[in-house]
Each structure stands twice: as structure tokens, then as C-alpha cells.
Amino acid sequence: MIHITHLTKLYGSVIGVNDVTVDLDVGAHGLLGPNGAGKTTFLGLITGQLRPTMGRVEVFGEPPFANPRVLRRIGYCPAADLAERHATPQAWVRYLVRLSGFTGGEAESRAERAIEQVGLDSASRRPIATLSKGMRQRVKIAGAIAHDPDLLVLDEPFIGLDPVARHELVHLVRGWSRDRSLIVASHLLHEVEALDAGLAVILGGRLVASGAALEIRSLIESLPAEIRVRCFPPQRFAEVAWRSTGVESVRVESEDIVVVATRQPAALAAVAQQAAADGLAIAEVMPADRSLEGIFGRLVQLHRGVGP
């Protein structure tokens, strides 16, 4: 369905997407990455808003940039908020359906159906500006699905949604991807996992991992855990830690912080006890970097062959 070869997008000297090669078959796919990773640029290239600086992107066998044949088959829900003040959801979605080539009556009924699908029928005649963020999010999704595309692309679709709305949207999107294709970009792993989608992890414009969700999770879980130890003097603690088994790296980060990477975090307790017995002052032991940024950082290291 999507065939991407050495795809690069530059904004002047800033890299948006960097040498990405990937094939995405028909089905559901999650695009995972922290903010600023290049997800929106990647989606912009797939949905024909941006033209590659280098490389090639083909959607349904053709380059999508300003290509009506491809664009007719794509529905896109961008991450940016919809600041259309005066139009109602019904008028806005009908307008988008008409831009997709449908005439008045057909556009009206498609818009109505899409608004009903996203559960906005009670608010369909209210100005968009008076709707909550979550409702505006649903308006955008209705606009993306109303013309019945073969590929639905959602950029951070769960932002601003309460848990109930999130659950409903997951249900709607999963139903959608049963017989059509779906790409969902998010910076939250559990959101993408909930969609039963294959995963591609992007960071710094590069595709650092791709595969089934389970594979990516086991890859993340196979990474050594980083433990941050506040102690004094840190150099002595580093020496003790480095001699113990299971420790993969030790880094003195500041005057009283040592970061230890290990696959056996439990073993570090013994190290700390030994160090305390040796007269070192240990103030704190805590996981250093289990944030998504940290996990992505380790994935990049794996990608570059730097990590374990």
C-alpha cells in the first residue's frame, strides 16, 4: 500500500525525515515517537502535503503529492486544532466532502452519517468554536472519514479526549481498520497498542524500529535499565558498581550522581549495600530514565549499533 525508499525531507537545513525506507501493507499501523520526532512530517509526505527532498514515497502505487487519484482515497485528521469559528460541524464536514468531489445532497448525507459515527449528532448544528477540545477532535475525525477513504491517517487523534471518548474512538478506529488501512501517529505507546496495530518507531526523523507491537515492546523491555544513584563520592561508587556482575555501563553524571545501566536491577541493591558498608554515603537509588524519551533514546542507540 505504501512504499517508501530513502525518504528524506529537509526544511532548509532542518531535517524533518531522514533516509527512511519502509513498506506498509494494507492494515493498521502505529507511528510512535516523541514530540518533534518527525511524525507529522512523515504523515505530510504520505498524505501529499509535502514533497520529498530526496527519495521516493508511493501510496497506492503513485506519488501522493498533489495527486487527486491518491488524495481521493486518503482521509487525514491532523493534530493541529481546528480554529474554524463560525461553521457548524455539519457545515464543515459537508464542505470537506464536497471538496472530495461529492455534490450537495450526497455530501449532506455523508456528513450526517460521519458526524453520527463519531457521536456528535447532538452538537452538529452548534458553531465549532463553542465545542470542547474533544468534540473538535471528533469533528476533525468526521471530516477525515466522511468520504469513505481506503486509508485513514490520524495524527495524535486522542489528544484532548476524556477516557470515555478515547475508548469510543479506539472502538471506532479498530472497526474501521478491519477492512481498510489505518495509520495512527502518537507519542503514547499504550494508545497505539490499543489499536492492535503494527508499530514503526520514529525519532529525530529516522525510523529506529518497526514490527509488530509485541516485538517492539519486547525490544524495549530487553533494553538495560538505567539506575540513578545519588551518593558521595561518586567515583568510588562507580568503581564498586563496575566490578559487580550484570552491570553494562557506569557513568558519573555530576558531583553526586552515578548512572548505572544493568539488565539485573535487583543485583544493584547488593552493590548499594556493599558500598554503604565501605563507608560511602548513599542518599537515593531510583530508575533513571524509563520515560518514553529515554526508551526512544536507547532505541536510537540500538539502531546505530552503539547500545548493547
For other proteins, the closer of residues 149 and 224 by Cβ is 149
Count of CB atoms situated within 10 Å of the CB of 282: 16
Task: Name which position in 15, 26, 87, 267 contacts other proteins (CB under 8 A).
Answer: 87
Nearest-approach distance from CB 38 to other proteins, in angstroms: 10
The window from 45-53, 193-201, 212-220, 271-279 that contacts other proteins (CB under 8 A) reads 45-53
E strand or H helix that includes residue 238:
helix 234-243
- Region for 78 from its dihedrals, namely left if φ exceeds 0, alpha if ψ lies in -120 to 50, beta otherwise: beta
Q: Is 95 in the site for other proteins (CB under 8 A)?
A: yes
Q: Is 78 in the site for other proteins (CB under 8 A)?
A: yes
The window from 24-32, 100-108, 185-193, 283-291 that contacts other proteins (CB under 8 A) reads 100-108
Cell of 4: 517508501
For other proteins, the closer of residues 104 and 308 by Cβ is 104
Q: Is 84 in the site for other proteins (CB under 8 A)?
A: yes
| Per-residue burial over 151-181, b = 16 or more CB atoms within 10 Å of its CB, e = otherwise | bbbbbbbbbbbeeebbeebbebbeebbeebb
Count of CB atoms situated within 10 Å of the CB of 208: 21
The window from 21-29, 43-51, 157-165, 208-216 that contacts other proteins (CB under 8 A) reads 43-51
Nearest-approach distance from CB 40 to other proteins, in angstroms: 4
Q: Is 99 in the site for other proteins (CB under 8 A)?
A: yes
The window from 88-96, 178-186, 194-202, 230-238 that contacts other proteins (CB under 8 A) reads 88-96
Q: Is 47 in the site for other proteins (CB under 8 A)?
A: yes
E strand or H helix that includes residue 106:
helix 104-117
Q: Is 76 in the site for other proteins (CB under 8 A)?
A: yes
For other proteins, the closer of residues 144 and 261 by Cβ is 144
Task: Name which position in 11, 25, 167, 175 contacts other proteins (CB under 8 A).
Answer: 11
**Cα distance between residue 25 and residue 3, in whole Å:** 9
| Cα-based distances in Å from 240 to 84, 182, 229, 262 | 62, 51, 12, 14
Site mask for other proteins (CB under 8 A), range 112-141, x = bound: ----------------------------x-
The window from 97-105, 193-201, 213-221, 260-268 that contacts other proteins (CB under 8 A) reads 97-105
Strand partners, 155: 185
| Cα-based distances in Å from 3 to 56, 61, 246 | 8, 8, 42
Q: Is 190 in the site for other proteins (CB under 8 A)?
A: no
64, HSE (Cβ side, Cα atoms, 13 Å): 26
**Cα distance between residue 176 and residue 173, in whole Å:** 5
Contacts with other proteins, residue ranges (CB under 8 A): 11, 16, 40-41, 44, 47-51, 66, 68-69, 71-72, 74, 76, 78, 80-87, 91, 95-96, 98-101, 103, 140, 143
